[in-house]
Structure 1
């Protein structure tokens, strides 16, 4: 089994914050993710968009390349790889704010890591959150979720249930839904700008956009975009 690795787009100058992007995968597989997998291509596109908007503000972006394509039950391989990536980021950049962004399986992985040191916010896109997914570690964490209402791969009801339990556990949660499915292709620009805005605010580079700030303050309400 190979090591995970990071595709890094460095800040234009000194790094003042880091955003880690984690793509989707599958329930079970010990094969490496395919180079042209749609989940990887889409997340790279989002990461590049955010980097283009914020590299000159001190943001370094990293795209995590997993060892294997699957979650693989108790092994939770994607979550283990996120832990590896966070260790690398801390070793390289020290005590800077970190924002986690994940789609589908990657959303599950970053939510699992949401209580890690230096993580200032988690942005979960159509996250795969099966019933019983842990939430206690998210107490005090900032969690922003965006999910397509027509998602057939990971039904939006799963993230709604997760968001409710995370709020009850003490997390600060804002959940949004949008027309479209799982691939983030329909209304792609909305997905991109949403992630950009959450990352910049989580990194401390801009104020939180008003709709997200309002949703975080008004716990329990899902907002349709």
Structure 2
């Protein structure tokens, strides 16, 4: 695959003079792809999330950035999206100093948010309809130790046809054994877009 670099998009809304917290917006992706993601599509997919989080965190001097991945795919053990999310946390710390970081991801971006939560600067994770791989006895399960000490919220619609809600339920159950701050909500009859539950997600982030 060609050598590429991840980058942070411009801050959503007016960037506060003194940033006291950062939200990194992680778009969805594909299971396998070496193609470069569309910057416009990536930004559009998390625009509403970024707008609402920025508005809710205005009084807390919150800055929100879209993470533009190097590749569109997770790509097996390469875990490109998770690696780019980890890089983005480090870049946020470089830009803003020692501030708390929230990883907020949708679909495959939700998986990246959960996987990259081990960075010392990460204090909270919001995973909306996270895409998780089918459980395979021949492969290790998705790790959860990195979620210890973080506030974690997972939201999944029961009618999600893209990401299996049963898999996020199982992950949350394992994670909760080591971290009581893991919360998972199912939205009855809602799909991948979680249109019924968005407002409550924003309110959770505002109090985190």
TM-score (norm 2): 0.87
SS of the aligned residue for 1:137 comes to helix
1:5, 1:65 within 8 Å by CA — same for their partners in 2?
Answer: yes
> Aligned residue for 1:180?
190
- Please point out which of 151, 156, 180 is paired with 1:142: 151
Q: How many residues align?
A: 197
Which is worse superposed, 51-60 or 174-183? 51-60
Q: After superposition, what is the alpha-carbon deviation per residue over 1:71-100, rounded to whole angstroms, capped at 9, x for unaligned?
A: 000000001101110111011111111111
| Helix, strand or coil at the partner of 2:46 | helix
The alpha-carbon distance between structure 1 residues 126 and 67, as it changes in their structure 2 partners (threshold 3 A), is same
**In structure 2, C-alpha distance between the alignment counterparts of 1:96 and 1:36, rounded to whole Å:** 28
**Which residue of 2 is the match for residue 128 of structure 1?**
131
1:1-225 aligned at under 5 Å gives the runs 1-7=3-9, 8-9=11-12, 11-35=15-39, 37=41, 40-130=43-133, 131=135, 132-178=141-187, 179-184=189-194, 186-187=195-196, 190-191=197-198, 193-202=199-208
Following superposition, the deviation at residue 2 of structure 1 comes to 2.7
Query: Any gaps of 5 or more consecutive residues in structure 2?
Result: 136-140
**How far 1:173 moved relative to its partner?**
1.0
**Deviation for aligned residue 1:128:** 1.5
Deviation at 1:171, TM superposition (A): 5.0
Q: 1:106-126 CA distances to partner (integer Å, 9 max, x unpaired)?
A: 111110112211211111101
Moved over 6 A (4+): none
1:163 to partner: Cα distance: 0.3
Conserved? CA contact 2:56–2:203, under 8 Å: no
Distance 1:195 1:15 in 2: 22
Q: Judge conservation of contact 1:18–1:99 (CA < 8 Å) in 2.
A: yes
Q: Give the whole-Å Cα distance in 2 for the aligned partners of 1:199 and 1:52.
A: 11
Q: Whole-Å Cα distance in 2 between the matches of residues 36 and 5 of structure 1?
A: 14
Tell me the SS of whatever aligns to 2:56.
Answer: helix
Say what the alpha-carbon RMSD is for the aligned residues: 1.8
2: distance between equivalents of 1:118 and 1:112? 14
Most deviating of 9-18 and 93-102: 9-18
Normalised to the residue count of structure 1, the TM-score between the two structures is: 0.81
Q: Distance in 2 between matches of 1:91 and 1:30?
A: 28
